[in-house]
Amino acid sequence: MFCRTESLSIVENGKRPHITVVGDLILDRYLIGDATKLNPEQPGVVIRVDKEEDRLGGAAAVAMIAAGLGARVTLAGVVGRDEAGDRLRRLIDAHGIEPHLWIGDRPTTWKQRIVARGQLRPDRCDREVTMPISDLAARFLSEVPLGDMLLVSDYGKGICTSRLLQTLGDRARAASSPILVDPARGRDWSDYGQVTLIKANRIEALGIAGQETRPLAMARRLADEHRCSVVVTYGGHGMVVAEREGETWYFPAKATDVRDVCGAGDTVLVALGLALLDGNSLQASVRLAISAAAHQVAQLGTVGVNHSMGCTLFPVLALVDDNA
């Protein structure tokens, strides 16, 4: 059994970790209302919008989750000189995240979803530019203050260029700071250099492995090829984990009433990072991450965790049994 004091040590015993997050910043926008009637123009319904809500997404969501769990967080990314960029910066500030932002003419990435009667509708509107950022922007981002750990959140929007990854990776390795990566779908993992751990979902991992194989065997092969620990998430089916030069395990998911899978991967990345940084084994860290993901998917959208809510993820995770 993980005891409460062990799980909470990152925020209660003065060892507040400093996490650096770099990646694609996204503004998640929600239109919230009720379906009031059938659409007379085409098959579907008319949604009467009662509320609009903006939340941090992408690497900004990773930073928000880490800050909510008590970490000091520095966030590096790109926003545009537009309304979405202004809103994103205000939200970053509201969550107590230290910004290291390149502000330019590139439009801010946003995603808009519709929620009707508490249920997420299947349609989504995206605005994004995926071309690589300029060398000047990459150089600026590479100078971000480095903390105790580097989290790379690559959504494939052009922020995580090879130049940026190489420079940040060299700095982190020189400082002996662990590097955890959530890779973009279809990107060669060798682009990330020598890292501590890669956390990928099944589709991302399969794209690198090149063929459908047994989950444990695939994770083991990826860990051996890329010389790092690998965690592959399988949604409601759990996770498979391969230690670098170590063992390979399967962990079942926790039974959960799933409302929305948005943010589950971000939550897993943060929970893994903070648990490892706090001295937990990879096995224990994965168990914590599974409970964190279960907490997240029961919510609608990616939610930050703060003390005013009466809890943080780590008190929830403190009750996880090693034998569960």
Closest by alpha carbon to 287, among 297, 299, 272? 272
Q: Which of 147, 130, 66, 83 is nearest to 312 (CA)?
A: 66
Over its C-alpha atoms, the chain yields an Rg (Å, rounded) of 19
- State how far the Cα of 100 lies from the Cα of 94, in Å rounded to an integer: 15
Tokens (6 digits) for 79: 């926003």
Is residue 84 within 8 A of residue 56, CB to CB? The reply is: no
159, 24 Cβ separation under 8 angstroms: yes
223 close to 243: Cβ distance less than 8 angstroms: yes
Is residue 20 a contact partner of residue 149, using CB atoms and an 8 Å limit?
yes
Inter-axis angle of helices 282-297 and 264-277, to 10 degrees? 150
Backbone angles phi, psi at 168, to 5 degrees: -65, -40
**Distance from C-alpha of 70 to C-alpha of 78, rounded to nearest angstrom:** 24
* 202-209 helix and 215-226 helix, angle to the nearest 10 degrees: 60
Catalytic residue among 266, 278, 321, 322: 266
Q: Where are the alpha helices (DSSP H) in the chain?
A: 4-7, 9-12, 59-68, 83-94, 135-142, 162-174, 202-209, 215-226, 264-277, 282-297, 313-317
Q: Which two tokens stand for residue 305?
A: 């965790």
Q: Is 148 a catalytic residue?
A: no
Q: Which residues are catalytic?
A: 266
